[in-house]
Structure 1
Amino acid sequence: MPGSASGTLALLHTSPVHVPVFETLRDEDHPGLGLRHLVREDLLARAREEGAEAVAPAVAAALAEAVDEGASAVLCTCSTIGGVAEACAADLGVPVLRVDRPMAAAAAAADRIVVVAALLSTLEPTLALIREEAAGRGVALRTLLVEGAWERFEAGDREGYLDAVAAAVDSVREADVIVLAQASMADAAARTTTPVAVLSSPRPGLWAAAGATASGS
């Protein structure tokens, strides 16, 4: 059932395509939740070249700006820098969440997990997060990088991007759950034919962030 929340949630994006996605989810599930979008494409570009830790000061500054402007909580929608953002929470005084943690927690309940990504830089942070959520329980983790998909995304070919991701997902065998590691992949789930559960991050991530916003407001 849709629910309402008070307070303002800031979302740190590394692509503008995420803005309408989260606006739609807010309207469907969390009417009354105020959203403020910060789009910083440069953070992902730098993280891909230099590593996520290299952009930690810039991420911290962006988050601090959001808090200074009244955010009750912040949600980072980029899996590559999500861990860096999450680590800033202690210094900011408000909850800072990474969009993929609820998805990872759900995936960690399975035994055989395949992580699908279009960016190499996303794979290791996602694997580390699933292992963390598995809390020492032995899980079999495999990865699948969708070659050429990110180039389509960057070129603005969203349909081609989603079709490529869906085709990659449908090629997976011997898995209990398939994880779409990037928020931009979420709509590909509806294009798949696999009987395996396919998890994406935007909706569960926003639910968690809406709860944190209500608690922090």
Structure 2
Amino acid sequence: MSKKLAIIHTSFATVEPLTALAKDTIEGCEVVNFMDDSILPQLMRNGGDLSAVEGRWLQYVVFAKDVGAACVLNACSSVGELTEKARRMVSIPVIRIDEAMAEKAVGIARRIGVAATLPTTLRPTLALLEKKSREAGKDIELQSALAEGAYEQLVAGHKDMHDAILTKTLKELADKVDIVVLAQASMARVIPSLSEGIQDKFLSSPVLAMQRVKAVLDIQSLKTEEENYN
């Protein structure tokens, strides 16, 4: 059974860490990366209108299937809502990077904070948490915070400035809620630098998403073995 994972990125910031995480989490995993750094700037200009980028993003999913990927990981929360359409287009699983994180947050907390460095990420992340709360039949209270200027610093190569702005936002939000969800995979880098006493108040998507990818690939492998045995 193939363990080829295609990851669709909209920022260079996620390529290296997610590739390394996939290889550490999934034995024998081969990673194929698709990167389009024009998507986020376009969404920032048009107020997050996904219809403007939908066609080309979905094409990457088709490309992923064409290169033999057994699974696709959508690494960008800003286009997370396109995952459902992608699942109807191809026969291979398409994983939304923040879905497992949202399910865990709803399962363990009522007052949930959502932090982002991009305004285009806040709305889809809040919508996902509301959807998961309805599915779980649980009432939740959401608060959001935008670390203004952090993403621009990261893109400019000023990682320390990005981390400083984001850390301040996270600490302030953590005081108001039970748990804080990090809306972008690129934000996970700051968690180890926080004091150990509050690190447990933050949920990031990469590890949880990759564990889900591994579970999906393991199920596929079992099905293939059963089919070959029969």
5 Å-filtered alignment, 1:57-136, equals 57-109=55-107, 110-135=109-134, 136=137
Larger RCO, structures 1/2 (Cα 8 Å, 6+ apart): 1
Is 1:155 the counterpart of 2:156 in the alignment? yes
Whether contact under 8 Å (2:11, 2:36) holds in the other structure is yes
Is 1:211 the counterpart of 2:209 in the alignment? no
Equivalent in 26, 33, 54 of residue 29 of structure 2: 33
Is 1:7 the counterpart of 2:19 in the alignment? no
1:27 deviates by 3.3
TM-score (norm 2): 0.87
The count of residues paired between Structure 1 and Structure 2 equals 213
Q: Deviations over 1:64-95 (max 9, x none)?
A: 01111111110011000011133211111111
Looking at structure 2, the residues matched to 53 and 85 of structure 1 have their Cα atoms a distance apart, in angstroms, of 13
Q: Which has the larger radius of gyration?
A: 2
TM-score (norm 1): 0.91
Whether contact under 8 Å (2:73, 2:94) holds in the other structure is yes
- Corresponding residue for residue 177 of structure 2: 175
Q: Percent identity, aligned pairs only? A: 31
Looking at structure 1, the residues matched to 211 and 43 of structure 2 have their Cα atoms a distance apart, in angstroms, of 27
1:9 deviates by 0.8
- Corresponding residue for residue 54 of structure 1: 52
AA in 1 matched with 2:149: G
- Taking only aligned residues, the RMSD between alpha carbons, in angstroms, comes to 1.7
1:97 deviates by 1.1
Looking at structure 1, the residues matched to 184 and 165 of structure 2 have their Cα atoms a distance apart, in angstroms, of 14
Looking at structure 2, the residues matched to 214 and 180 of structure 1 have their Cα atoms a distance apart, in angstroms, of 27
Secondary structure of residue in 1 paired with 2:177? coil
Equivalent in 164, 180, 197 of residue 201 of structure 2: 197
Farther off after superposition, 67-76 or 151-160: 151-160
Farther off after superposition, 176-185 or 190-199: 190-199
Farther off after superposition, 144-153 or 189-198: 189-198
Identify, as 1 or 2, the structure richer in helix: 2
Structure 1: 5+ residue stretches without partners: none
CA pair 213-47 structure 1, distance change in 2 beyond 3 A:
farther
Q: Deviations over 1:92-120 (max 9, x none)?
A: 11111110001111111211011000100
Secondary structure of residue in 2 paired with 1:147? coil
Whether contact under 8 Å (1:111, 1:176) holds in the other structure is yes
